[in-house]
Structure 1
Amino acid sequence: MRPDLARIRRRLRFACAEAGVPADERGRLVLAVTLLAEPALTAGETVDVATAAADRRLAVTMRLTHPVSQSSRAALPLLPGPGDDETLTWHLTGGRTTAPADPDDDRATREEMLALVARADTLAQEQRDLKHELAETNSGVLAMYVDLEQRDEQLRRAHAVIFRELEDALRPRPPAVPGLELGVHYSPTDQDSPTGGDLYDWFVLPDGRVHVTLVDAVGHGVTSTRHALTVTHAIRTLALAGHPFPDLIAHASRTLAPIEPGLMATVLLARIDPSTGHARFANGGHPEPVVVTAAGTARLLPAPVPGQGVGFPDPGSRRLVDVVLAPGDTVLLYTDGLVESRKDLDEGQARLLSLAEACHGHPVPSLPRELVTRMHDVVLHADDTVVLALRRTPGLS
């Protein structure tokens, strides 16, 4: 080793001892200075190293005749503080004064290396302890996550039960009517919510005829559900009170206007006599019903004069549509979500007629679901959808 490099190393070690710098920190400083000084001294350059100690703090300044790049600074075992390219300064914190380093460079180096190894062992143990703590923490987080997943699943099941009960309350089951088979399917826009503005009601009048109300309230969510319920209940009350069938939509609109001024809904009414097959329809702005004969021919039943729904100007059906259903004939009532899934009403109604003919022999209880599944093979516009099917059966006269 060059004499001048040995003197620099001894000077650093004595300064560290006086300031109380630990051996491992001293070793990193000595090695950093050596890495910079040795090639400079070998090249014949001047290396100046100065030390200053105060209040157990040691500052070491090294000046070279050539600049030191940032990458070379970053590679040193002890990083210097900021400074110009030719000057490097280290600031070390000491403790109580330690014994002067062994003047023998090799023995001092071994002492420093042993201190560094001990420090490395300590850091390795701390790292192992930290990994263990992290593993325990991760295990706890995983257990908490599993618990939350289980609770979330319990909530989903509870919500599903509530939704089914709510659906039963909002959507009455088909009544048992001799001479008629009835089926229904509801498809919500949001599969996680049973609410929407498409609702229906059906019941048997005292004279044996079946009354059907199909409502599509403007909007979505709970508000539209409330509006649709309000309309179906109003029409049920008026119908059971004996109000004339042609006036039900207009009467309901006048009754509800002061109660629900923002309510707007299209309405389709049907009255079917199972014994004769006579069916009468009142349409307030709703998609036209479809009649499918027992032979499999389907047709729309357009109103002679278009009507308006509840909450619209001049509500009600201008004229009624009357048909006689033969045994095996089926009536399909639906909301616009069925035929507007591809954003084209005419195309949707044409597809519905074609599918109604293809499925005319399908069992009534599952026919609505079958039609919805086939009609919604492509959905460009999602909307609540209700489909009702009523088929006259043989046996009554």
Structure 2
Amino acid sequence: MPRKRPMDDGDELLARLRSLTAQARERAELQRSQVELAIALQRGMLPRDLPDTPRCHVAVRYAPACYGLNVGGDWYDAFVMPDGRIGLSIGDVQGHNIEAAAFMGQVRAGLRALASVTSEPGELLTRTNDLLLSLGSDLFATCTFVRLDPSTGVLESARAGHIPFVWAMADGKSGIAEDEGGPPLGIEKGMEYPVARFRLTTGGVVILLTDGVVEGPSLYIEDGLDHVVRLAGIAAAAGLGADALAAAVIKGAELVGHEDDAAVLVVGHDGPDSQPGPQP
């Protein structure tokens, strides 16, 4: 009967390599499961349906980041409020993990719930900010909330640390909203958020977006926003629909070195004409 060969340094090295390989596989599987959970959590918290309202056209595009655990908390939302006006929100939660995705759901749900109490954008952001602080989370979020009257095209918006929206008119004029924003949600209690007013004319569009669309390692935010402004002007002048414009804008996210979520929300209006552009 052959005798067992005593273990030498080579055998110990092989055993150590097998152990390290098994540990690496376990960590990779855990990481993959966490990413899948975060993405599923994100998608489950985004709205399934968009408002179907005469004179208004709403379109969205969303691309989650999928590098390692780099899955964040960008969101969009669009819903009809009790007074018949449309509520639109878009935002970005600090961080890229499961906690960020869960916090995103709290912000979005809080905005919807409080919109039944007050639909005035500035007051709504103030109340949402205080609500988030009462939850005791260390996270914060940037956000834009818009209230749109479908019958008139009048749009009122307030920003909490978020990038401004882009607008365009049917004659090809386009630009970036010059509204005054407030601080992000979840940082300090009792904050106030100024409200800006804008009127969408026939064929006009407004584009709400997160910074993952216009900023990244390969693109400065100013250049990214300028690109969206040009796209919006061309699309509006050519009469392209909201859905086609949303698809074109989200494609621009490929230019940023996409390491972040990217969300786009476009709303167009077929209402009566009025004076175009930002309103005092």
Q: Could you state the TM-score of these two structures normalised by the residue count of structure 2? A: 0.76
Aligned length: 239
Q: 1:369-392 CA distances to partner (integer Å, 9 max, x unpaired)?
A: 21121x234333521010000000
Distance 2:57 2:112 in 1: 21
Q: Do 1:202 and 1:212's aligned partners in 2 also have CA atoms closer than 8 Å?
A: yes
Match of 1:234 in 2: 110
Which amino acid letter does the alignment assign opposite residue 323 of structure 1?
A: F
Distance 1:309 1:292 in 2: 26
Give the 3-state SS of the residue equivalent to 1:328 in structure 2.
coil
Give the 3-state SS of the residue equivalent to 1:257 in structure 2.
helix
Distance 1:194 1:179 in 2: 38
Match of 2:23 in 1: none
Aligned counterpart in structure 1 of residue 165 of structure 2, from 289, 292, 316: 289
Q: 1:315-364 CA distances to partner (integer Å, 9 max, x unpaired)?
A: 75542110111111101000011110334111111122112222223221
Alignment of 1:168-183 (within 5 A): 169-183=45-59
Match of 2:240 in 1: 362
Alignment of 1:54-203 (within 5 A): 167=43, 169-190=45-66, 196-203=72-79
Which amino acid letter does the alignment assign opposite residue 335 of structure 1?
A: T
Percent identity between the two aligned chains: 27
Give the superposition deviation at 1:274: 0.6
Aligned counterpart in structure 1 of residue 182 of structure 2, from 296, 300, 307: 307
Aligned counterpart in structure 2 of residue 326 of structure 1, from 183, 189, 201: 201
Match of 2:91 in 1: 215
1:268 maps onto 2:144 in alignment: yes
Structure with the higher fraction of residues in helix conformation: 1
Match of 1:382 in 2: 259
Q: Could you state the TM-score of these two structures normalised by the residue count of structure 1? A: 0.55
Distance 2:192 2:232 in 1: 26
Match of 2:153 in 1: 277
Aligned counterpart in structure 1 of residue 250 of structure 2, from 365, 372, 382: 372
Which amino acid letter does the alignment assign opposite residue 145 of structure 2?
A: L
1:338 maps onto 2:213 in alignment: yes
Aligned counterpart in structure 2 of residue 251 of structure 1, from 112, 119, 127: 127
1:316–1:177 distance in 2 versus 1, CA, 3 Å: farther
Distance 1:164 1:296 in 2: 39
Q: 1:232-278 CA distances to partner (integer Å, 9 max, x unpaired)?
A: 11111111123643211121111221313312000100000010110
Distance 1:219 1:282 in 2: 23
Give the 3-state SS of the residue equivalent to 1:189 in structure 2.
coil
Unpaired runs of 5+ residues, structure 1, are 1-158
Distance 2:190 2:226 in 1: 28
Structure of higher CA gyration radius: 1
Between 1 and 2, higher relative CO (CA 8 Å, sep ≥ 6) is seen in 2
Give the 3-state SS of the residue equivalent to 1:167 in structure 2.
helix
